[in-house]
């Protein structure tokens, strides 16, 4: 069974967890990825943003949300009045999963499966416990599965506060899905609307 639990430190804060996660071998994704991409931000953050997994640029740089999806998210946060320095950014899965097209060099993102997500979840739970945010912002279906259960539907239940084991959560679309959307402007506007709801909960 895949499981990160044996790699978690028995005590310590975010820095101790980040150091330990760098050596995680709880599932096979560490083999192909460049490095673990742990969450980033302050432990006193009022919001925790949970994505799916690091992308190509995040994998190379070792930081979450530093690529195109991250730029879009930060822009939407600014529009909604959410301060970046009061946010903590992380992912449901901490290693980049990808395939390389035959003869190509480009690394193409692959969605993590349930086993990988379940294996990695102890890291996410530890982050949520240590940061204890006022609102968890759940970005897309993978994060929703990890935090809100398999029957949660982002399309139906997005944008409204829901109770979770780890505190109040608001689910919304993943910024990567907006970048792939046929109607990018409308999808982006929807993200900003949901983030305004989050800002309202903090006020
Ligand atoms: N997409 C994610 O889900 N997370 C990142 O860190 C970057 C892109």
Q: Is the dihedral of CA 29, 96, 77, 173 positive or negative?
A: negative
Ligand 1 mean position, distance from CA 174 (Å): 9
**Amino acid 78: pLDDT:** 98
Q: Is 26 in contact with 7 (CB distance < 8 Å)?
A: yes
Domain positions in the chain: 5-202
CA 69 to centroid of ligand 1, rounded, Å: 7
pLDDT tens, N- to C-terminus, the chain (203 residues): 999 999 999 999 999 999 999 999 999 999 999 999 999 999 999 999 999 999 999 999 999 999 999 999 999 999 999 999 999 999 999 999 999 988 888 999 999 999 999 999 999 999 999 999 999 999 999 999 999 999 999 999 999 999 999 999 999 999 999 999 999 999 999 999 999 999 999 98
Render 127-148 in DSSP notation, one character per residue: HHHHH--SEEEEEHHHHHHHHH
CA–centroid distance, 64 to ligand 1, in Å, is 6
The position carrying tokens 């480009």 is: 106
ipTM (interface pTM): 0.91
Closest among 101, 78, 91 to 38, alpha carbons compared: 91
Give residues with Cβ within 8 angstroms of 53, minimum separation 6.
91, 92, 93, 94, 95, 96, 97, 109, 112, 142
What per-residue confidence (pLDDT) applies to 44?
97
Q: What is the pLDDT of residue 105?
A: 86
> Tell me: domain 5-202, CATH 3.40.470.10, correct?
yes
| Ligand 1 binding pocket, CB closer than 6 Å | 51-55, 58, 64-65, 67, 69-70, 91, 176
The pLDDT of residue 104: 86
Ligand 1 center from residue 186 Cα (angstroms): 21
Pocket test of ligand 1: the residue of 69, 76, 178 to mutate, having most ligand atoms within 8 Å of its CB, is 69
């Amino acid at each position: 069974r895949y499981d990160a639990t044996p790699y978690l430190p028995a005590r310590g804060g975010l820095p101790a967890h980040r150091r330990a996660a760098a050596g995680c071998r709880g599932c096979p994704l560490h083999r192909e990825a460049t490095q673990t991409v742990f969450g980033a931000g302050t432990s006193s953050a009022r919001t925790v943003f949970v994505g799916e997994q690091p992308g190509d640029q995040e994998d190379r740089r070792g930081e979450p949300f530093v690529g195109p999806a991250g730029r879009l998210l930060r822009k939407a946060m600014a529009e909604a009045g959410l301060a970046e320095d009061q946010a903590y950014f992380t992912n449901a899965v901490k290693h980049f999963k990808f395939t390389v097209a035959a003869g190509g060099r480009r690394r193409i993102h692959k969605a993590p499966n349930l086993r990988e997500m379940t294996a990695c979840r102890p890291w996410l739970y530890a982050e949520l416990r240590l940061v204890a945010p006022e609102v968890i912002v759940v970005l897309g279906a993978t994060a929703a599965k990890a935090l809100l259960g398999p029957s949660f539907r982002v399309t139906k239940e997005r944008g409204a506060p829901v109770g979770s084991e780890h505190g109040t959560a608001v689910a919304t679309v993943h910024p990567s899905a907006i970048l792939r959307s046929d109607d990018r402007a409308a999808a982006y506007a929807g993200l900003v609307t949901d983030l305004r709801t989050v800002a309202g909960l903090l006020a």
